[in-house]
Structure 1
């Protein structure tokens, strides 16, 4: 069963992914936002285009921590199919996401 993340910025990011709305996704990030995939730093815009927006990425949230910044997600896209993934988001005081850490769960 999918549930909405408790954190407003993270919830908006998941919704942007599921709508395929790259502009809304990017608007939620701080200017210096970083991304890692299985611990390896990635070029954020290149990664999201390949793994999310050109491959119809979709997130079904299954578990989250109390503040909604750590998620376990059933993630799917046209490239890799479906898999369990973990996502950690660092959210700044002004409500923007400055870091995304993802990988297989």
Structure 2
């Protein structure tokens, strides 16, 4: 069973991914949210569509720290299978303004 992060925005982010709910995913993000993957800045909308929603992405959180804003998770999608990943979130006014992910 997945660990549930303490931060409500991060918990909603994961719930949206695991539920395949693109609208709920973007609702938890700040309008000008940014992201990086393995240290490279990415176009958030394009990355999310490719890596998560068109590839049936799922997250199984293994560990949570920094009040639920730093995670280690098994991330699975139909393109790459399952890989151990790290996630770091910046939450501003209850919404995710930035997330960084990469292989753990």
TM-score range, shorter chain: over 0.9
Structure 1: which 4+ aligned runs deviate by more than 2 Å?
A: none
Q: How far did residue 23 of structure 1 move?
A: 0.3
2:59 corresponds in structure 1 to 59
Q: State the 1:61 CA deviation.
A: 0.3
Question: For residue 103 of structure 1, what is the aligned residue in structure 2?
Answer: 102
TM-score w.r.t. the length of structure 1 is 0.97
1:1-105 equivalences in 2 (<5 Å): 1-92=1-92, 94-105=93-104
The 8 Å contact of residues 90 and 97 in structure 1, kept in 2 or not, is answered as yes
**8 Å Cα contact 1:6/1:66 also seen in 2:** no
Normalising by the residue count of structure 2, what TM-score does the alignment of the two structures yield? 0.98
How far apart, CA to CA, are the structure 1 residues paired with 2:89 and 2:59?
14
Ranges in structure 1 where 5+ consecutive residues have no aligned partner: none
Question: What is the count of residue pairs matched by the alignment?
Answer: 104
